[in-house]
Amino acid sequence: METIRLGQNGPAVTPLCIGTWAWGDKLFWNYGSDYDVNQLREAFKAALEAGTTFFDTAEIYGFGQSEEFLAQFLQQTTQPVQIATKFAPFPWRFTGQSVSDALTDSLKRLQLQKVPLYQVHWPFTFLLSQETLMNTLADEVQRGRIEAVGVSNYSAEQMREAHELLARRGVHLAVNQVRYSLITRQIETNGILDTAKELGVTILAYSPLAQGLLSGKYSADNTETPTGARRIDPRFSKDGLRKLEPVLSLLRQIGAKRDHTPAQVALNWLIAQGNVIPIAGAKTAAQVKQNAGALGWKLSEDEFTQLDLATRS
């Protein structure tokens, strides 16, 4: 399996990451209703079988349960697996010690001595200064409990500040995890993508299928009814889906030519950029296999350009 390095000198990981927000989460994903730990275990196994060994989690996913599930599944394999997790800068965390304590708790839940990637979940840190936060993360790199440091949802300016603070300690900022897909391309115009390239920071793209809009599952003509948050998202309305139809049609067209699904084409478009790793959420083995179909092939320059032009705002 081809690998990509996180940042300038971070760990090498697979070019597709499995997102585990839904693992144990009941608030947004209804864990325990139409899927449970058995489906998640099979999804984990399917990922390893497909050679996709990079997983993204966070301490707030399922209030720690996502990390605990990963620990449980890790005990059942000898295959090397790369885990990324995240620190939540809650208002009551305003000291360096609170950052270290949160990392300790995540490591306990994961049953690991260190994590390949530790990320700050959002940039607003209340009373915790970025200087204290980044210095503590640099300390943890030196202690050996973190291999690489990342941020999430940071603007270009915030990413540059984090990079500079870490660089003073001899640590490179490895990633910025942001929303990015064929139809969510703000990072190309707000400076995030250009700054990431300049600084050697890898982009981890969450919601790479735009909550399923690019999967081909929804269209203005079918009877599939959006559920949950999608129900109030105007993009999933009949009008929204009609506007998106030219893009979906192109994804289907390219997919049919290459014997791949629209979702696999959309994920491959991100992977083809070289410094972007999509995080594709999965709750079942079938979803993992579907996502893994984005690997092992590459869009032609012409196909990439067609998709690029069709989705530029």
| Active site positions, annotated | 61
d(CA 262, CA 277): 18
Look at the block and give the residue holding tokens 């690991």: 112
Relative to beta strand 4-5, strand 12-13 is antiparallel
- Neighbouring CB atoms inside 10 A of 34's CB total 10
Spatial CA neighbour of 209 closest among 267, 152, 253, 256: 267
Specify whether the CB–CB gap between 12 and 5 falls below 8 A: yes
Question: Considering Cα of 124, then 125, then 127, then 129, what sign does the dihedral take?
Answer: negative
Question: Considering Cα of 250, then 253, then 255, then 258, what sign does the dihedral take?
Answer: negative
d(CA 36, CA 74): 17
261 burial via Cβ count (<10 Å: 0-12, 13-18, 19+): buried
d(CA 41, CA 256): 31
d(CA 249, CA 143): 51
Spatial CA neighbour of 17 closest among 307, 203, 199, 279: 279
d(CA 240, CA 41): 35
Question: Considering Cα of 197, then 191, then 267, then 106, what sign does the dihedral take?
Answer: positive
Relative to beta strand 17-19, strand 54-56 is parallel
